[in-house]
Amino acid sequence: MKKPLFLVLAIIGVLLLSACGQGAGYETIGIDEVAAKQEAGYTVLDVREPYEFEQGHIPGAENKPLTALQSGDFEGLQEDAKYVVICQSGNRSKQASDILLEEGYEFVNVDQGMGSWEGAVE
């Protein structure tokens, strides 16, 4: 009797986990997938403030602070480019991703941030 209940709970758990991040309307990736996305032609879009960006960022990244996006400033972003959106911890990138989704940009969100990045920085 316990096996069927366990199986049902396991299936529900898997469905809930697979729904996380997908309901937002965009893909969310782990920090370990950033380099592969760069190799596939994505540009890293760092949405931290300029002083944070200057302290160290992923090589080749562009800086467009969340505050700029929130005020409607999309200058410098290419409509036909693909972006990997990253911040310090994952919170601002989610907010930026919500904005970029509304504006029609192609991107993936990083669920972690530069605080978890172990690769090279410039």
Could you list the active site residues?
Answer: 87
Q: What is the DSSP letter of 30?
A: -
Q: Which of 120, 72, 119, 114 is nearest to 96 (CA)?
A: 72
State the number of CA atoms in the 13 A half-sphere of 81 facing the CB: 14
**Which helix (H) or strand (E) segment is 81 a member of?**
none
Return phi, psi of residue 44, to 5°: -75, 125
- The structure tokens 């601002």 sit at 92
